[in-house]
Amino acid sequence: MAQQNVRIVMNGVTGRMGYRQHLLRSILAIRDAGGVALPDGDRLQVEPVIVGRNADKLAELAARHDIAEWTVDVDEALADDSAPIYFDALVTSERKKSLLKAIAAGKAIYTEKPIAETVGEGIEIARAADAAGVLNGVVHDKLYLPGLLKLRRLVDAGYFGRILSVRGEFGYWVFEGDLIPAQRPSWNYRAQDGGGMVLDMYCHWNYVLENILGRVETVTTRAVTHIPKRWDEKGEAYEATADDAAYGIFELEGGIVAQINSSWAVRVNRDELVEFQVDGTEGSAVAGLFGCKVQSRVQTPKPVWNPDLPTDQVFRDQWAEVPDNADFGNGFRAQWEEFLLDWHAGRPHRHDLWSGVRGLQLVDAALESSREGRTVAIEEIA
């Protein structure tokens, strides 16, 4: 068994998501496992080159995790031909500039979403990658998690019959920062820094809906800022200029209607932080990121509405768990491994920059819907 190495420029790994999910739980986990297994039995080993603005943080990370190379000079890293892949986990407002630089340097691109702040910027990036002929991919982590893998399995098996509707609930209470420190970075609540619920989460909802149930054709959304004043990492008050909640209705191809509530100002009363209920003529399912429960047509109880008597049914007990039937790993790592295998084979990655553009289409249409109080149609991009 032979080993091949690939060096990856990783920009933005001092941030929460870049560090925890991409560096620690994906790339370093792959490295410590001896690399990715190739079809011929060889191994593709990864060597991260970490990039950021804070030299002290980078040096500490490198020492803690036995990473040989780090730099605060992204241009220097991009000029290194021995590192053929560039990964981006910067704040959204900085992403377009960095991705275009990496594409111009001939790097294969793997990036967090959203890939840009607007559809126009996203199209510019995707066209640049196409023109340069570089492999590109966008993080679609939720599709690789157990709950949604099980949901996709049910759809593929025809379990639902004709699918009628989807109900999604996402969110949790993000503390304002005065009484208890906030558990999300303050830039998430400043529109000028690329923050906002719609921009952050509607890219996710687009790829979840598109890859499991069908393309989004229209959207009606109300985006709001429930909490207008928050406190940042230094304990200083600031105005929250970005939406912290969005309530959306999505019409999908095939006549499916989806409703998804997304909020950072909601207290959780469900099994997981995000859950999707899919209802069809032959059965229903409730899927989170990890669990998935089903209720078939023949197992559906017959409740009767009677406001004069308390119900004697425990509705949550009437659903059956879908078994794992497989070993499920970290979703971020699973997509990294798929992307690396695609890079090694020289083939396109199925979740490319154009998928990221379609996510931005939904974002723009949803924000337009919220501003104008109407349903907005989403045109297919040629």
Identify whether the C-beta of residue 214 lies closer than 8 Å to the C-beta of residue 164. Answer: no
Cα separation of 220 and 376, whole Å?
Answer: 6
Strands 43-51 and 3-11 turn out to be parallel
Name the helix (H) or strand (E) containing 286: strand 283-287
* Closest to 18 measured CA to CA, from 242, 332, 262: 332
Estimate to the nearest angstrom the gap between the alpha carbon of 351 and the chain centroid.
11
Predicted confidence (pLDDT) per residue in 174-233, tens digit: 999 999 999 999 999 999 988 999 999 999 999 999 999 999 999 999 999 999 999 999
pTM above 0.75, yes or no: yes
User: Tokens representing 113?
Assistant: 């979403």
**pLDDT less than 50: residues of the chain:** none
**In 3D, which of 194, 15, 185 has the Cα closest to residue 114?**
194
> Whose structure tokens read 């704040």?
91
Which pLDDT score, from 0 to 100, does residue 325 have?
84
Give the span between the Cα atoms of 91 and 175, in whole angstroms. 21
SS3 readout for 15-34: CHHHHHHHHHHHHHHHHHCC
The tokens of 79 are what? 């000029």
The phi, psi pair for 308, rounded to 5°, reads -90, -15
> Are 31 and 46 within 8 A, CB to CB?
yes
Burial class (CB in 10 A: 0-12, 13-18, 19+), 373: exposed
Angle (nearest 5°) at CA 185 between 180 and 186: 85
Using the 8-state DSSP alphabet, how is residue 295 labeled?
A: E
CA nearest neighbour of 351 among 143, 137, 205, 144 = 137
pLDDT at 293: 98
> Pseudo-torsion of CA 28, 74, 5, 132, nearest 10°?
120
Q: Check residue 381 and give its pLDDT.
A: 85
pLDDT recorded at residue 95: 94
Are 13 and 23 in contact by the 8 Å Cβ rule? The answer is yes
